[in-house]
Structure 1
Amino acid sequence: MAAALTGTAKSTWASFLKSIASFNGDLASMTAPPFILGKTSLVEYSAYWTEHPKLFVAPAKETDPEKRALAVLTWFLSTLKQQYSSRSEKLGSEKKPLNPFLGELFLGHWDDEEAGRTELISEQVSHHPPVTAYSIFNEKHGVRLQGYNGQRASFASMTITVKQVGHARLHIDAFDEDYFISLPALHIEGLVYGTPYVELEKSTVIQSSSGYFAKIEYSGKGWVSGKKNSFSATLQKTGSKEILYNIAGQWTDSFTIKKGKTEIDTYSAKANPTTPLTIKPLEEQDPLESRRAWAKVVAAIDKCDYEETGIEKSKIENAQRELRKKEKAEGTVWERRYFSTIDDLPVVNQLVEAASRWTVSQGLSPLLLDEPAKTNGIWVFDEKKYEDIKSGKKDAELKAAAEKVEEATAHAPASADPQIPLVEAE
């Protein structure tokens, strides 16, 4: 984005930086220049978990639990570049994503000669607070990833800090094995230069039901030393002080896996190209699917027409507000298509308790699950809903829901105000 900041845009960015230099308070009241708005909705971000399908299914091929845990850790580390850096590389810098509306969907699949087909279902299950739930599964190898996440942003010292809430859970059918995965905190650097990018911070953990514990610690480029996007990770038996494997490098570039002092493997992001996600053509998508729903907004961004961007964006947002008012008046709620809330998730609780006992024994803080209120519930993929949709039982109901949103959007009032909130208000 730095190269694009010329003329009016450069002046607008300078004014924005001046306004936030001494800013304190709710980030939802702060507006950003319209050209910082990206063309991708947050509901699409779930796809970044599995752009390397071979690595996603690799753990299912390992009969040794230690090597399986290492394969899970390697897969997770390979996802970080896609999740937190791929957009800034393509666009020149990090952009503000489109904030998904309640019920927004992103559906697709990856086809790989070795891994077979891997399906993706991502749905915005809550708007206040914003939460995306996802289910990614490969039936051929029996590997399933489920999770949900949201973001809470704050601002200090010219840096936007984002705490992610929620978690991910990987299940391997062949071994009836589960892995709890916590989500990294992050911050946006480079604001002062007009080239925002993500840097991960603190640490995340992976706890397996087979008794292995991984910890990943993140660090970035400091004033004196260090490399951008650096990390170090360890894998050990839960409860044991012995480190089985050390992994270190840069999550945007490459890393090395060592057993003791012996290097046993390396990973290079450049040498492992991603597999493209296949989605339906725009005209065949459900009206609630992300790229169809935001098509007019994206077209306006492509033309750098920020007045039209504001108009089309406001139609979607105002329609959603009216739908929520109507539901409240009628005493109804929006029916989530693929996900449901549950009171408890015992398998995750057990994994978190095991990891927490281990971290406390090492003098570290206990690992705690986020309160359900922070994510508007504990979200799980609803197999019955999924099967009913596949069988066609819910066709009429889904069509009616989509038409309701389309009609509300078509008749919603529009605003030409191109100002973009830095974060969405809850």
Structure 2
Amino acid sequence: MDSKTVSSRLRELVKFLGTVKGDLANVTGPPSLLAPSSVVEVGHCWAQRPAVFAAPAHEPLPEKRSLLVLKWFLVALKSQLYVAGSPGPQAVSIKKPLNAFLGELFLASWTDEENKASTELIAEQVSHHPPITAMHVIDRQNGVRADGYARVEMTFNGNVNIRQVGHAMVHIDRYDEDHLVPLPDVKIRGFLGGCMYPEITGTYTLHSSGGYVSQIKFSGEGMIRGKRNSFEAKVYKKDDTKQRAIYTLSGVWSDGWVVKDAQTGEVLEMFKHDAVENEPVPMDIVPVEQQDDWESRKAWGKVLNGMAMGNLEAVTREKTKIEKAQRLMRAFEESRGETWEPLLFQSISADDFEVFHRLADGTGHQLADERTKGVWRVKDTQVKNLQRPFRAGLTPLGY
């Protein structure tokens, strides 16, 4: 990208952000700053490496299972946060995903035949005001599932600050074990250089019912170590008041890291994102022409085509059609006293979410169910019996 283009995009971005007050999450950005994918696709990061997702099911030691869930969490961060961008010497500025409309769905699967693992992803936009996305990842053969949801809040104060309100819960059938996984807050930096990138700071913990805790301390450019996307982590026994590490990890979550036995100093793994063996497996989705109107790729098809052709006028026109139709749909529902019902997820009371309270006890983790309209969990029976068309007689463009 030449300097003139960077300067133009930077001016456009600063002008746009300067006009926005409050939460940016539901604000439509300039077309040139949008990624060619929707928010509901973000969950692919949890599912695109089936062998990594399934690994804890084959590990008899609970401390190693916690280490493997931690690895799954770390591996997913790069594709989750570098949306339509990339880190490194040839860095490409990240972009903002399309705001998902209410009821938007993304269904996909990944199969790793060599490692006998296969994941399915189901994601749905269960609320638009505020924006809340629910997701479910499952490997039926190996008995591992992850359920999560997030309300995204975005503000601007020189950086774009992204706060994720929600969590994920991983369950391993073979050991009847649960892992509480946080959703980190993110700052988007690099505006002045014209190349935006994500940075996580602060300390986060993953808690397992197997009795172990994984603690991650994120840092980045301008911090003590001064290296972008840096982190240090350790796994320790929950009842160890001194929090003595069993395993340690250190490195850069968007590039690679080292895993060591904390007692012996032995290097157990050197993970590199760009190593061939760590590449995601191909994603399998129904061809767009066979998808339901509520599925993301089909619903945004004309917008995505406009992006691919560099036709920003078409992008704006087609986005506006969907956004206007959605506003009319909400007004119609309100006039009839109706409430939108998600198709594949349901909200449960925080009081009924026993597994969270058990794992979070004494940790500082709290549910913010009043801000997320409850706790979102997949309707297992509905998913198993899912058939197209999903909402007969109704499309994202109206009745």
1:373 to 370, 375, 381: 370
Q: Deviation string for 1:84-117 (max 9, x for gaps)?
A: 2263129921111100001100001001111332
Aligned to 1:360: none
Per the TM alignment, residue 139 of structure 1 is displaced from its structure 2 partner at its CA by 0.8
2:274 to 270, 273, 279: 270
Per the TM alignment, residue 27 of structure 1 is displaced from its structure 2 partner at its CA by 5.0
CA–CA separation in structure 1 for the residues paired with 2:27 and 2:372: 23
| Alpha carbons of structure 1 residues 325 and 207: separation in structure 2 relative to 1, 3 Å | same
CA contact under 8 A between 2:83 and 2:95: conserved in structure 1?
A: no
Aligned to 2:394: 404
CA–CA separation in structure 1 for the residues paired with 2:231 and 2:92: 23
Amino acid at match of 1:126: S
CA contact under 8 A between 1:12 and 1:33: conserved in structure 2?
A: no
CA–CA separation in structure 2 for the residues paired with 1:16 and 1:274: 32
| Alpha carbons of structure 1 residues 165 and 30: separation in structure 2 relative to 1, 3 Å | closer
Question: For residues 131-210 of structure 1, what are the structure 2 equivalents within 5 Å?
Answer: 131-156=132-157, 158-210=158-210
Aligned to 1:38: 35
1:65 to 53, 56, 62: 62
Amino acid at match of 2:298: R
Aligned to 2:77: 80
CA contact under 8 A between 2:184 and 2:204: conserved in structure 1?
A: yes
CA–CA separation in structure 2 for the residues paired with 1:221 and 1:406: 42
CA–CA separation in structure 2 for the residues paired with 1:239 and 1:224: 30
The residue matched to 2:32 in structure 1 has which SS? helix
CA contact under 8 A between 2:121 and 2:135: conserved in structure 1?
A: yes
1:346 to 334, 351, 354: 354
| Alpha carbons of structure 1 residues 399 and 12: separation in structure 2 relative to 1, 3 Å | closer
| Alpha carbons of structure 1 residues 4 and 293: separation in structure 2 relative to 1, 3 Å | farther
The residue matched to 1:48 in structure 2 has which SS? helix
TM-score of the two chains, using structure 2 as the length reference: 0.91
Residue 313 of structure 2 is aligned to residue 314 of structure 1: no
Looking at both structures, which has the greater relative contact order when contacts are Cα pairs under 8 Å and sequence separation is at least 6? Answer: 1
Per the TM alignment, residue 385 of structure 1 is displaced from its structure 2 partner at its CA by 1.8
Aligned to 1:327: 333
Aligned to 2:106: 106
CA–CA separation in structure 1 for the residues paired with 2:284 and 2:316: 29
TM-score of the two chains, using structure 1 as the length reference: 0.85
CA–CA separation in structure 1 for the residues paired with 2:341 and 2:12: 43
Q: List runs of 5+ in structure 1 lacking aligned partners.
A: 357-365, 410-426
The residue matched to 1:372 in structure 2 has which SS? coil
Per the TM alignment, residue 289 of structure 1 is displaced from its structure 2 partner at its CA by 0.5
CA–CA separation in structure 1 for the residues paired with 2:330 and 2:230: 43
Q: Deviation string for 1:38-60 (max 9, x for gaps)?
A: 11100000111122111110000
Per the TM alignment, residue 68 of structure 1 is displaced from its structure 2 partner at its CA by 1.3
CA contact under 8 A between 1:319 and 1:405: conserved in structure 2?
A: no
Aligned to 1:6: 4
CA–CA separation in structure 2 for the residues paired with 1:291 and 1:312: 14
| Alpha carbons of structure 1 residues 127 and 20: separation in structure 2 relative to 1, 3 Å | closer
CA–CA separation in structure 1 for the residues paired with 2:308 and 2:181: 36
1:245 to 244, 247, 264: 247
Amino acid at match of 1:319: A
Residue 272 of structure 2 is aligned to residue 257 of structure 1: no
Question: For residues 10-25 of structure 1, what are the structure 2 equivalents within 5 Å?
Answer: 10-11=7-8, 13-14=10-11, 16-17=13-14, 25=21
Stretch moving more, 166-175 or 196-205: 196-205
CA contact under 8 A between 1:57 and 1:115: conserved in structure 2?
A: no
| Alpha carbons of structure 1 residues 248 and 334: separation in structure 2 relative to 1, 3 Å | same
Per the TM alignment, residue 16 of structure 1 is displaced from its structure 2 partner at its CA by 4.1
CA contact under 8 A between 1:296 and 1:312: conserved in structure 2?
A: yes
The residue matched to 1:101 in structure 2 has which SS? coil
CA contact under 8 A between 1:170 and 1:180: conserved in structure 2?
A: yes
Per the TM alignment, residue 72 of structure 1 is displaced from its structure 2 partner at its CA by 1.3
Hey, which bits of structure 1, 4+ residues long, moved more than 6 A? none
CA contact under 8 A between 2:153 and 2:163: conserved in structure 1?
A: yes
Q: Which has the higher helix share?
A: 1
**How many residue pairs end up in the alignment?**
386
Per the TM alignment, residue 399 of structure 1 is displaced from its structure 2 partner at its CA by 4.0
Per the TM alignment, residue 334 of structure 1 is displaced from its structure 2 partner at its CA by 2.0
Per the TM alignment, residue 223 of structure 1 is displaced from its structure 2 partner at its CA by 7.2
| CA RMSD between the two structures | 2.3
Per the TM alignment, residue 368 of structure 1 is displaced from its structure 2 partner at its CA by 2.2
| Alpha carbons of structure 1 residues 224 and 385: separation in structure 2 relative to 1, 3 Å | closer
Per the TM alignment, residue 15 of structure 1 is displaced from its structure 2 partner at its CA by 5.3
Per the TM alignment, residue 131 of structure 1 is displaced from its structure 2 partner at its CA by 0.8
CA contact under 8 A between 1:151 and 1:164: conserved in structure 2?
A: yes
CA–CA separation in structure 2 for the residues paired with 1:15 and 1:317: 22
Question: For residues 355-374 of structure 1, what are the structure 2 equivalents within 5 Å?
Answer: 356=363, 366-369=364-367, 371-374=368-371
Stretch moving more, 106-115 or 221-230: 221-230
The residue matched to 1:300 in structure 2 has which SS? helix
| Alpha carbons of structure 1 residues 207 and 106: separation in structure 2 relative to 1, 3 Å | same
CA–CA separation in structure 2 for the residues paired with 1:103 and 1:20: 27
CA–CA separation in structure 1 for the residues paired with 2:268 and 2:10: 47
